[in-house]
Amino acid sequence: MRGQIRTVRDPAGAGKGIVLAARSAQRAGAGEPAGDPEKRRQEHLQELLEPVVRSEGLILVELIWRREPVGRVLRLIVDRPEGGVTLDECALVSRQVSHLLDVEDPIEEHYHLEVSSPGLTRKLKTPRDFQVFAGRFARLVVRDEQGRTQEIKGRLKGMQGDEVLIDSKGRLRAHGLDSIVKANLELET
């Protein structure tokens, strides 16, 4: 591995850390799925790295592979199923992923590895997210049938079928997952 692992504060300032490792590899991974090369790479990395994250009792919330001003970045967002991952757990996953990437060598170019928590205002994407965080305060941006968006803040109440339930100002509202443009946990004020 070229580079060093270092820990920095996360950009949201939530007190969690990000563990970084810069490295360079010499060859592309074999056996990657067909299609768009960037999407193939991301899918291959997800298949390769998700078992490492699960082995520590964590879930891989999101894997991001993209070009940024610092160069290529492989970003893993990890969490506990019930929420709340520690800096030490992020560091452990970073070391394990780093070792696996050194052995498998699926990336032929220089890149930065980041492992972090989703933070206090994490994105909500899957039905499981809306169930796990039922009872927490959230902000949804929903699109109506005319294409207009509306922001709704309130307490998540879980899922009913394919609809997200949220109590906003004492009124229980249901919004289909397909109408939700963006959703995040919010800090209560």
Both tokens of 46, joined, read: 């997800």
Residue 108, pLDDT score: 81
Do β-strands 59-68 and 180-185 pair in parallel, antiparallel, or remain unpaired? Answer: unpaired
The C-alpha atoms of residue 1 and residue 24 are separated, in whole angstroms, by 7
CATH of domain 127-185: 2.30.30.100
For residue range 29-80, list pLDDT tens digits in order. 444 445 688 888 888 999 999 999 999 999 998 999 889 998 889 999 999 8
CA distances from 112 to 7, 25, 63, 67 (A): 13, 11, 13, 10
Q: What angle, rounded to 10 degrees, do the helices at 87-104 and 37-55 form? A: 130
Kindly report whether the global pTM for this prediction surpasses the value 0.85.
no
Q: What is the pLDDT of residues 108-140, one digit of tens each?
A: 888 899 999 998 899 998 898 899 889 999 999
- List alpha helices for the chain, DSSP H: 37-55, 87-104, 127-132
Tell me whether residue 105 is exposed, middle or buried, using C-beta atoms within 10 angstroms of its C-beta: 0 to 12, 13 to 18, 19 or more.
middle
Reported as a pLDDT band with limits 50, 70 and 90, residue 82 is confident
pLDDT exceeds cutoff 60 at 28: no
- Domain assignments of the chain as residue spans, ordered by start: 5-116, 127-185
Fold: same for 5-116 and 127-185: no
Top CATH class of 5-116 equals: alpha beta
